[in-house]
Structure 1
Amino acid sequence: MQLLTYPRETISLDGTWQAIPDQYETFEGYFEDFFGDDSDNPTGFAPKPIYEPDASIENDPVDFNIHDGRSVEIPSSWGEEIPEFRHYEGWVWYAKTFDWTAEQGNNRAFVRFGAINYKAKVWLNGELLGSHEGGYTPFSFDVTGELQDGENTLIVQADSKRYEDGIPNEDTDWFNFGGVNRSVELVTVPNTFVRNYKIETTLSGGTVDIHVSAWIENSTPETAISVAFPELNRDIELSRVGEDEFTGELSLSEADVTLWRPSEPRLYTIRLETGDDVVADEVGLRDVRVSGSDIVLNGEPIWLRGIALHEEADGKGRALDSKDIKARFRWMNELGCNYARLAHYPHTEEMARTADEEGILLWEEVPAYWDIEFGDESVQTLYRQQLRELIQRDWNRASVILWSIANETDHNDETRNAVLPEMADYVRELDDTRLVTAACFVDDTDDGLVIRDPLGDHLDVVGINEYHGWYYGSADDMQRFQETPNGPPVLISETGGGAKRGYHGDGDERWTEEFQAEIYRGQIAAAKDNEQIAGLSPWILFDFRAPMRQNEHQRGYNRKGIVDQHGRKKKAFHVLREFYHTDHSG
């Protein structure tokens, strides 16, 4: 169960760390193996492993010093902090010393990492805390017994290599930013505390039904937990339903509640209390479901006016700050969006929390991208882990309405077709109050464009990625999409084309802003009148780094953005803005 962190007071370990690249993967275990123990080492020279707090001292003849590496700011992507390592993939060791006294915290303490790409091992004061795989989701370790009064040394081994049996695997169409890309925190809690909670809202006959679950660590038979909604003047006591899980329900008249929606993103305080632990958070109350080919929010169909985006900022890699996040929402609001697809992996938690405040609905996904090893049991375990870590992090965000389980995977692969429905079921086990989707392909047949992917039968909403007018066909070919009466809602999860900002020409000249704008005009004409299409999120908000994109117009960037990497708008931005402000205003 994910450790609830964001609403708590925490001790930041961000700031200046020391970083040491280890291209040959030498510094873990090598010296023990090379020199052996004292009886086998007549020289008396036996350097300590890098994760020991005193691994190197002044004047030692060693080739690294954890206290005097390259100074970097955390969070950061190391290729942006150390430009000569921009294309380096491998191990980097990070070190941070900090002072601690028992008076600083409660009975229990955890160190929590927002994300490290891609694998991580962590030591505190020379003791291995554990490891984690997955470059975009948070993880934590209990350090209650490892913290020392006085100086402490935290060591992280970050491995950014791409793996054939990873998620994602070796091939992606985005840049592999290695590093401690999100914040590091110390979290202190009482011995008995709220590890996580979940709020679920459903509407029924004018009633707002609220179900609250909470997971209490180190509970006893006497443990009690109360939940209050101060603005609604309601509170409940939760009942134990398992060893550490407690649940409760309350019902309100819809007339007494302002339901969360894009046009009015009302948030209410929820306060959970057990013993000495109190957690307060801000949540929205809303209901999302599917009815026929419609996505229905709070009982009303909604057409999703969206855009897709990566988590990247020029010169910062994947280590976004609040200013970067605000810029994204400023662009989305200017476009007239009520929805965004956060591709192709979990973005920082602050995106979802800001979306709650701004009224932007979200599609969130894990990087089950292209050709991962679906039949490998260890990959399936990792797959579930990444889904669980994302969902348990963001399942209280009203803005999140779509969990996506895959992107552009081969629907002719029988193994994939057996595994992905299992992943859809797993998502529903974790959270059945949101919609399950995936970005699939559309097939071109003599009868028109149709969805033949068998995964569609297991999804609530079917996403389709199509690039008519760019890679094939004409931009308005989606007019040939064959509607299925009472079929599931379809989102055009990707569409668009490339343009170099400032490069102009005729509307039929590829890579010009005019060519890209014409693609958008054709796609809009095709999408807006199809009854089964419930929205779109064109690819993509801004240009982003992509190693496979190397022609004269790209030079390492995917140029499908309607804004370039410096924030300058292209003509397609204004085409999409006009559509969103004049059509499908729900």
Structure 2
Amino acid sequence: MKKLLILLLMGANSFVFAQKTTQPLPEHPRPDLMRSQWLNLNGPWDFTFDSTFVIPSKFAHKIQVPFPWGSKLSGVKDEADVAWYHRTFQVPAVWGSKRVFLNIGASDWHTSVYVNGKFVGEHKGGYTPFDFDVTSFLKAGIQSVDIRVDDKRRMFTLYGKQGYGNARGLWQTVYLDARGSDYIDHYAVYPDIDKGSVRIKTYLGGVASKDAVLQVRLANGQSASMPVKKGAAVAELTLKLAKPRLWSLEDPYLYDLSLRLGDDQVKGYFGFRKISVTPLPGSKIPYIALNNKPVYLQLALDQSYHADGFYTFPSDAFMKDEIIRSKRIGLNGIRTHIKVDIPRKLYWADKLGLLVMSDVPNSWGEPDADMRQETEYTLHEMLKRDFNHPAIFSWITFNETWGLFTRVDKKSVYTPETQKWVASVYRLAKSLDPTRLVEDNSICCGRGHTETDIHSWHAYQAGYEWDQVMDDQSKNVFPGSQWNFEKGYVQGAQPMINSEFGNVWGYQGSTGDVDYTFDYHKAMNSFRNHPKMAGWLYTEHHDVINEWNGYYKFDRTEKETGLGAIVPGMTLKDLHGPFYVSTGQEITWAGKAGQTIKIPLHLSSMTNLSGGLRLKISFAGVTAWGEKQTHWTKDLPLKFAPWDVRALDSLSVVLPKDKSVNTLSFILMDPAGKVLHRNFGHIIVEEGNVKPSNPKMELVSVPVERYSASQWPEKQWTGVLGQKVNGAGAGYFEYEFPISGSDITEVRFMVEASSKPILGKDRPDGGKMDGDYMLGKGTFDPSVNPNAYPQTDVYPSSSSMRVSANGVVALETVLADDPADHQGVLSWHYQARNKKLDEAGTYGYIVQGVIPPAAWQAALKAGKLVLRFESTRGGLALYGDQAGRFVTDPSILILRK
């Protein structure tokens, strides 16, 4: 079923350079700070590894800029820490006598620039842009540029998770632009939606050499100007907007603007919006607000990595699609995790309407003077660069206290001194940007907040633990509480959000690749019952090297959730809408026939609307012999209020008489019949009738683990606590069924089966997961983890299956895959609650057919029918009545006269 992603372990042929016919990332890298006269220098550069400070005379390689060396898209292996780049360029004649600047979007870490053999300048840092005025270094005709980058590991640098793919050297667009004699370096727009105006603060690249006029023009025709006196470095003006149009998630309108100072002009944009905190209507519960209205945050942790480009995406279209992928499943935001993301990706978040939390990357050393300087510098520069992106609503200065521990008496300590510094960095960020929220530390693992605008916390839990976790969080969140705060600091009226969750780390040693949807469903149900939590953030948007529970795979292909097969039309968006019908944490129940089970129901309405709804409830299932049954449907009127969570009447369900697995589906509609939300739960009848409704039919089953013979030379083992039998390669399982009587007219067989490839954990050397996951080391194999069972995806693993009865072939077929997703309800329900998983979510297909009369007639003489389930390739898994998706053991159905 799976193609193991052996990422980063690429063969030599992967690095053979082939000249591209098109320039990589040709678009202007800064839509928020553009000049019309510019020249993109992306593409093939000469490249060589050389640690000397002398410009090389020969270059061993060609590299594609701006992809970091070591990435597949760069065309160069990662063979050393220091390298030189070289290329030539020609300044366009139309630039005339303007000043020429060389711009580098980002380069990690110590970058030195030479033009025409002369040293121009250097920069230290890995994430933010820098430029050099190269005008005085130019000559007539062809120019040369040489760039030395030293990326030796330094413990104080903000390395983040670069172990997933190092951002070595130049990793964002390199370009030239032409500027005026007095030029605009950058600008900051301060929207004030309450007054209907914007304050625009323009920073010059130095001090003005003469008196001038700054002109501001908006695309809607509005303009303003102000004098800039000689010696001034900053100019500021306020513009009242005519018919203001807000930037929102539903209408992400952008105001285009141009700024002109003498012979220098830049173009950019801004969004007219406000970020603040507001109480939910009718309560004191604080929520993050957009344009003075509360927003229920539904975010994904975005590691923002690409399998072939690492920190750098292959195209602008890919970056746009990253934003669309989030919106497509109903999310309203992402958190770019410990990486300062690429401006054009932020542009697409602005353009398409997706909120962004932006992290300062972390170091892995101690918080010494060098680390503090590096952090504060990067914070300052990223806020300067990204100030005008309306999508960004918060800055996060530290994550999980990484890089904040000091060794004291052989212990790692988060010292009070460091905590004070963290609080000071929070205040620094607020002083640099008073328009957004700032989070001091996105906390985890017993560590707490100091001073912060957002009360966040991380929790990676098994699905069956969420109600307890949420109850604890909710009861301990109030002004003055020290819950989730360090000693000496207390809660205020900050919005409380979960800023990382998922089952990826919710089980012992993590889950590897596993169906995320079952535990995710439980979390969503629990979260929506706790209105004190103003939002959540799932780990993660896409798989990365050693975390495999993304909404999408690392190559951004789709995963199968199984939701639509359970309730037609249901997708992840049903779990992310403003309306939500919740049964609480539990989504499966089991009992005996005739037993009554009470199902709690809650309605969550995270919306400004109020009014009436209709809730259609259906109860249907499949019996042990494969018969579909519809038990009942109900249609209930409901009232809802804005931003409200209310308990509905509990649902009493009498369990059907037949052994079966049943689905309780909920479809919420508006008065016109438009579907607003779908949800479901499963009810399993464990002890019930197994006599088919046809009185002439008899069901004979054998527990899946009681096979009479088997042969699997490659490997044979069990899963789902013994309720599933597995055979790898070519082999068979045989079962003996009692059979007698002279009135038989037909015999059929039925079994739930799937293919069974060998996964990493199934190999003799499986389960070894050495290395530091946080730094990208480990297995590079999503199925090695003992808890793993790779989720259904677009890479099927089929197998051939033959069924024979007493040596007579009854059926030959192909098993399409070895699936694992939400449809494997029994494989989830019967998991032990011990922080471990045993092939959770796996399921198969119902394979059934008619047994040739000669076979069962011959079997009557011996009183037993021997069924052989055989695979000639691809392996075979058979499921019992407590595994897979059907309450069915290997069975025969006997039809009598």
Q: TM-score when scaled to structure 1?
A: 0.80
| CA-CA distance at 1:162 after TM superposition | 2.4
Find out whether 1:215 has 2:218 as its counterpart. no
* Counterpart code for 1:211: R
Residues in 2 aligned to 1:560 and 1:168: alpha-carbon distance in whole angstroms: 23
SS of the residue 2:193 aligns to: strand
* Counterpart code for 2:171: N
Find out whether 1:419 has 2:421 as its counterpart. yes
Match for residue 298 of structure 1?
291
Match for residue 115 of structure 1?
106
SS of the residue 1:424 aligns to: helix
Task: Give 1:429's match in structure 2, choosing from 422, 428, 431.
Answer: 431
Match for residue 746 of structure 2?
none
* Counterpart code for 2:576: Y
Is the CA contact 1:203–1:209 (under 8 Å) kept in the aligned structure 2?
yes
Is the CA contact 1:476–1:525 (under 8 Å) kept in the aligned structure 2?
no
Task: Give 2:392's match in structure 1, choosing from 393, 397, 400.
Answer: 400
* Counterpart code for 1:200: Y
Is the CA contact 1:200–1:211 (under 8 Å) kept in the aligned structure 2?
yes
Is the CA contact 1:313–1:324 (under 8 Å) kept in the aligned structure 2?
no
Which is richer in helix?
1
Task: Give 1:367's match in structure 2, choosing from 361, 374, 382.
Answer: 361
SS of the residue 2:576 aligns to: helix
Find out whether 1:195 has 2:190 as its counterpart. no
* Counterpart code for 2:318: D
Is the CA contact 2:33–2:266 (under 8 Å) kept in the aligned structure 1?
no
SS of the residue 1:250 aligns to: strand
* Counterpart code for 1:346: V
Find out whether 1:542 has 2:542 as its counterpart. yes
Q: Structure 1 residues 521 and 5 mapped into 2: Cα distance closer, same or farther (>3 Å)?
A: closer
Find out whether 1:323 has 2:313 as its counterpart. no
Counterparts of 1:78-117 in structure 2, within 5 Å, are: 78-81=69-72, 86=77, 88=79, 90-100=81-91, 103-117=94-108
Match for residue 302 of structure 2?
309
* Counterpart code for 2:186: N
Larger Rg: 2
Length, aligned pairs only: 508
Counterparts of 1:178-193 in structure 2, within 5 Å, are: 178-193=168-183
| CA-CA distance at 1:89 after TM superposition | 5.1
Residues in 2 aligned to 1:83 and 1:197: alpha-carbon distance in whole angstroms: 33
* Counterpart code for 1:306: L
Is the CA contact 1:115–1:180 (under 8 Å) kept in the aligned structure 2?
yes
Residues in 2 aligned to 1:241 and 1:126: alpha-carbon distance in whole angstroms: 35
Find out whether 1:565 has 2:593 as its counterpart. no
Match for residue 146 of structure 1?
137
Find out whether 1:269 has 2:256 as its counterpart. yes
Is the CA contact 1:488–1:532 (under 8 Å) kept in the aligned structure 2?
no
| CA-CA distance at 1:340 after TM superposition | 1.0
Match for residue 473 of structure 2?
481
Is the CA contact 1:468–1:476 (under 8 Å) kept in the aligned structure 2?
no
* Counterpart code for 1:96: R
SS of the residue 2:135 aligns to: coil
- Alpha-carbon displacement from aligned partner over 1:169-194 (angstroms, at most 9, x marks no partner): 7x766332313111100111010121
Residues in 1 aligned to 2:226 and 2:233: alpha-carbon distance in whole angstroms: 15
- Alpha-carbon displacement from aligned partner over 1:142-178 (angstroms, at most 9, x marks no partner): 1111122222221112233321121237x76633231
Q: Structure 1 residues 323 and 182 mapped into 2: Cα distance closer, same or farther (>3 Å)?
A: same
Q: Calculate the aligned-residue CA RMSD, in Å.
A: 2.8
SS of the residue 1:513 aligns to: coil
* Counterpart code for 2:436: R
- Alpha-carbon displacement from aligned partner over 1:185-222 (angstroms, at most 9, x marks no partner): 01110101211111001233xx3231111112341452
| CA-CA distance at 1:476 after TM superposition | 4.3
Q: Structure 1 residues 234 and 190 mapped into 2: Cα distance closer, same or farther (>3 Å)?
A: closer
- Alpha-carbon displacement from aligned partner over 1:56-97 (angstroms, at most 9, x marks no partner): 3xxxxxxxx04xx31121111221248996554511211111
Q: Structure 1 residues 433 and 310 mapped into 2: Cα distance closer, same or farther (>3 Å)?
A: same
* Counterpart code for 1:16: P
Residues in 2 aligned to 1:77 and 1:223: alpha-carbon distance in whole angstroms: 42
| CA-CA distance at 1:570 after TM superposition | 2.9
Is the CA contact 1:95–1:153 (under 8 Å) kept in the aligned structure 2?
yes
SS of the residue 1:407 aligns to: coil
SS of the residue 2:252 aligns to: coil
Find out whether 1:459 has 2:452 as its counterpart. yes
Residues in 1 aligned to 2:305 and 2:96: alpha-carbon distance in whole angstroms: 34
Counterparts of 1:129-168 in structure 2, within 5 Å, are: 129-168=120-159
Counterparts of 1:349-368 in structure 2, within 5 Å, are: 349-368=343-362
| CA-CA distance at 1:367 after TM superposition | 0.6
- Alpha-carbon displacement from aligned partner over 1:317-350 (angstroms, at most 9, x marks no partner): 2221212212212211211121111111101000
- Alpha-carbon displacement from aligned partner over 1:129-153 (angstroms, at most 9, x marks no partner): 2222222211111111112222222
Task: Give 1:70's match in structure 2, choosing from 53, 61, 72.
Answer: 61
Unaligned runs of 5+ in 2: 1-29, 280-285, 405-412, 480-492, 564-570, 581-605, 609-897
Is the CA contact 1:475–1:519 (under 8 Å) kept in the aligned structure 2?
no
Is the CA contact 1:125–1:146 (under 8 Å) kept in the aligned structure 2?
yes
Residues in 2 aligned to 1:477 and 1:441: alpha-carbon distance in whole angstroms: 19
Match for residue 502 of structure 2?
496
Find out whether 1:250 has 2:239 as its counterpart. yes
| CA-CA distance at 1:234 after TM superposition | 4.5
Residues in 2 aligned to 1:359 and 1:139: alpha-carbon distance in whole angstroms: 28
- Aligned-residue sequence identity (percent) comes to 21
Match for residue 284 of structure 1?
271
Q: Structure 1 residues 221 and 177 mapped into 2: Cα distance closer, same or farther (>3 Å)?
A: closer
Counterparts of 1:436-447 in structure 2, within 5 Å, are: 436-442=438-444
* Counterpart code for 1:17: W
- Alpha-carbon displacement from aligned partner over 1:458-517 (angstroms, at most 9, x marks no partner): 2111332221228xx834443221352363112322111339xxxxxxxxx954533x22
* Counterpart code for 2:98: N
Greater Cα offset, 402-411 or 347-356: 402-411
* Counterpart code for 1:250: L
Q: TM-score when scaled to structure 2?
A: 0.53
Match for residue 229 of structure 1?
218
- Alpha-carbon displacement from aligned partner over 1:284-333 (angstroms, at most 9, x marks no partner): 11111123521111111111121121222222222212122122122112
* Counterpart code for 1:233: Q
Residues in 2 aligned to 1:242 and 1:372: alpha-carbon distance in whole angstroms: 42
Match for residue 596 of structure 2?
none
Q: Structure 1 residues 387 and 83 mapped into 2: Cα distance closer, same or farther (>3 Å)?
A: closer
Greater Cα offset, 519-528 or 112-121: 519-528
Match for residue 128 of structure 1?
119
Greater Cα offset, 270-279 or 388-397: 270-279
Task: Give 1:580's match in structure 2, choosing from 560, 576, 579.
Answer: 576
Q: Structure 1 residues 512 and 477 mapped into 2: Cα distance closer, same or farther (>3 Å)?
A: farther
Is the CA contact 2:74–2:309 (under 8 Å) kept in the aligned structure 1?
no
Q: Structure 1 residues 534 and 162 mapped into 2: Cα distance closer, same or farther (>3 Å)?
A: farther
Residues in 2 aligned to 1:265 and 1:258: alpha-carbon distance in whole angstroms: 9
Residues in 2 aligned to 1:232 and 1:107: alpha-carbon distance in whole angstroms: 28
Unaligned runs of 5+ in 1: 29-48, 57-64, 445-451, 500-508, 546-556
SS of the residue 1:122 aligns to: strand
Match for residue 377 of structure 2?
385
Q: Structure 1 residues 492 and 115 mapped into 2: Cα distance closer, same or farther (>3 Å)?
A: same
Match for residue 513 of structure 1?
514
Which is richer in strand?
2
Residues in 2 aligned to 1:262 and 1:250: alpha-carbon distance in whole angstroms: 24
SS of the residue 2:70 aligns to: helix
SS of the residue 2:220 aligns to: helix
- Alpha-carbon displacement from aligned partner over 1:399-434 (angstroms, at most 9, x marks no partner): 111111111105843232011111111112211111
| CA-CA distance at 1:252 after TM superposition | 4.1
